C-alpha cells in the first residue's frame, strides 16, 4: 500500500509537470514537433534535442562521486567500447531541450523547457551483476518551469532553477561555427555558483563512441535514488532523427560545477553526439527491480 501511495504521489507530481511547465520566448525554436503522441496515447511523449558528451574520468574519481553501494559495471561499457582507456569511466554530460510534450490520454500538454545534468551510466543497483542503470541525481531546469521543478524534486532529484543561453533551443551557433549552450543558476545571489557550459564542433572523421553506444547509455533506466526508476526511452528511428536532422558526431569542451562535483571542472576535446529524437516514458515511475531485464530498444 505504501508503494502504491508513493506511485500515486509521483503521478500527481507528473500531472502538475505536464499541465503547466513553461519555457518563455520559444518562438523560432529549431526542434521538430512530437511525431508519436497519438501512437502512444497512454505514455508521456515528446521531442528531445540536445548534446550528449562522454567524458572519460578516472575510475577513482567516479568512485568518489558515485555512492559506494552502486557497483560500476566496467565490463559492460568495455564490451561496447573496447578501446576505452584503462582505469577510466564514461561520465555523461547532457544538455537538452524538451519540446512538444504530450500525454494524450489525459489531454495534457507541456510547455518547452531546457535542462542540463551530469549522469552516471552502467551502474548495478540490484546486485545482479548485469542490469545497467543510470544515476542522474542533480539537474538544472529552466527556472520558469516551476511545476517541472517541483515534480522532479518530488521524484527524488535535486533540481536547481536555471537560466539557459539560448533560452529555448538546444544550442546556438557562434560566429566560429561552433554550437553552444550555457546554463547557470537563475539567482546566483541565493545559491553558490552552479553552471554547465558545452561548446562543440562537428567531428565527421573521429567517432570514438558510436551511436549504438549513445543509444545504450541514453536508454538505461534512470534513478535519483533506488526507490523508483524512470524507464525513459529515446527513439532514434522516427522522423525527428531523419535527414537533414540525423544525429551528428561532435567534439567539444565542457566547463561544469554541478553536484556531485565539488569544484569547477573543465574537460577539452571530448566526444559525443548532437541528436534530436522522439521519446516516451511511463506517466508513473516504476520499481527499479521490475526493469532488471530491460533491453535497449
Q: What's the pLDDT band for 38 if we cut at 50, 70, 90?
A: very high
Give 206-260 pLDDT, tens digit per residue. 899 999 999 999 999 999 988 889 899 999 999 999 998 899 999 999 999 999 9
Q: Which residue's C-alpha cell is 566526444?
A: 271
Contact, 34 vs 80, CB < 8 A? no
What's the pTM?
0.89
Query: Considering the domain boundaries, does residue 15 fall inside one?
Result: yes
Query: Considering the domain boundaries, does residue 210 fall inside one?
Result: yes
Quick one: average pLDDT of 4-24? 41
* Nearest alpha carbon to residue 52 among 254, 281, 268, 278: 254
Domain around 124: 2-291
DSSP classification of residue 46: E
DSSP classification of residue 33: P
Instruction: Give 241's contacts (C-beta < 8 A, 6+ positions apart).
Output: 235, 247, 275, 276, 277, 278
Query: Considering the domain boundaries, does residue 85 fall inside one?
Result: yes
Q: At what angle do helices 146-154 and 2-20 cross, to 10 degrees?
A: 170
Half-sphere exposure of 33 (CA within 13 A, CB side): 6
Tell me the C-alpha distance between 107 and 279, whole Å: 18
Give 225-234 pLDDT, tens digit per residue. 888 898 999 9
Sign of CA pseudo-dihedral 137, 139, 143, 147: negative
Residue 18, SS3 per DSSP: helix
Q: What is the reported pLDDT for 293? A: 63
Query: Considering the domain boundaries, does residue 242 fall inside one?
Result: yes
Give 145-164 pLDDT, tens digit per residue. 876 777 678 778 999 999 99
Q: What is the reported pLDDT for 204? A: 86
Contact, 124 vs 226, CB < 8 A? no
Please say if the pLDDT value at position 19 is more than 70.
no
Query: Considering the domain boundaries, does residue 273 fall inside one?
Result: yes
- Considering only 65-79, 172-186, 191-205, 282-296, which range has the smallest mean pLDDT? 282-296
Query: Considering the domain boundaries, does residue 296 fall inside one?
Result: no
Query: Considering the domain boundaries, does residue 297 fall inside one?
Result: no
Share of the chain above pLDDT 70, in %: 88
Tell me the C-alpha distance between 278 and 260, whole Å: 29
What CATH number is associated with residue 65?
Answer: 2.40.400
As a dihedral over the C-alpha atoms of residue 164, residue 269, residue 296, residue 212, rounded to 10 degrees, the angle is: 130
Domain count, the chain: 1
Query: Considering the domain boundaries, does residue 283 fall inside one?
Result: yes
Amino acid at each position: 500500500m505504501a508503494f502504491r501511495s508513493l506511485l500515486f504521489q509521483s503521478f500527481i507530481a507528473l500531472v502538475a509537470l505536464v499541465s503547466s511547465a513553461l519555457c518563455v520566448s520559444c518562438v523560432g525554436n529549431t526542434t521538430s514537433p512530437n511525431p508519436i503522441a497519438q501512437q502512444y496515447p497512454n505514455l508521456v511523449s515528446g521531442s528531445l534535442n540536445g548534446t550528449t558528451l562522454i567524458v572519460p574520468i578516472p575510475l577513482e574519481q567516479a568512485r568518489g562521486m558515485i555512492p559506494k553501494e552502486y557497483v560500476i559495471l566496467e565490463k559492460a561499457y568495455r564490451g561496447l567500447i573496447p578501446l576505452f582507456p584503462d582505469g577510466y569511466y564514461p561520465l555523461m554530460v547532457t544538455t537538452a531541450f524538451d519540446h512538444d510534450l504530450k500525454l494524450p490520454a489525459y489531454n495534457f500538454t507541456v510547455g518547452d523547457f531546457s535542462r542540463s545534468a551530469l549522469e552516471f551510466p552502467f551502474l548495478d543497483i540490484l546486485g545482479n551483476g548485469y542490469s545497467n542503470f543510470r544515476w542522474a541525481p542533480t539537474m538544472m531546469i529552466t527556472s520558469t518551469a516551476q511545476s517541472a521543478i517541483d515534480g522532479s524534486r518530488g521524484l527524488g532529484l535535486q533540481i536547481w532553477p536555471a537560466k539557459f543561453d539560448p533560452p529555448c533551443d538546444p544550442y546556438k551557433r557562434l560566429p566560429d561555427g561552433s554550437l553552444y549552450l550555457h546554463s547557470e543558476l537563475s539567482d546566483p545571489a541565493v545559491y553558490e555558483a552552479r553552471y554547465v557550459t558545452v561548446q562543440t564542433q562537428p567531428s565527421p572523421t573521429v567517432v570514438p563512441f558510436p551511436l549504438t553506444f549513445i543509444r545504450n547509455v541514453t536508454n538505461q533506466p534512470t534513478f535519483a535514488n533506488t526507490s523508483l526508476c524512470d524507464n525513459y526511452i529515446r527513439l532514434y528511428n522516427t522522423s525527428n532523427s531523419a535527414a537533414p536532422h540525423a544525429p551528428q558526431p561532435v567534439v567539444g569542451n565542457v566547463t561544469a560545477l554541478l553536484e556531485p562535483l565539488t569544484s569547477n571542472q573543465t574537460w577539452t576535446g571530448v566526444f559525443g553526439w548532437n541528436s534530436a529524437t522522439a521519446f516516451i516514458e511511463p506517466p508513473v515511475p516504476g520499481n527499479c527491480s521490475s526493469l532488471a531485464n530491460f533491453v535497449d530498444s
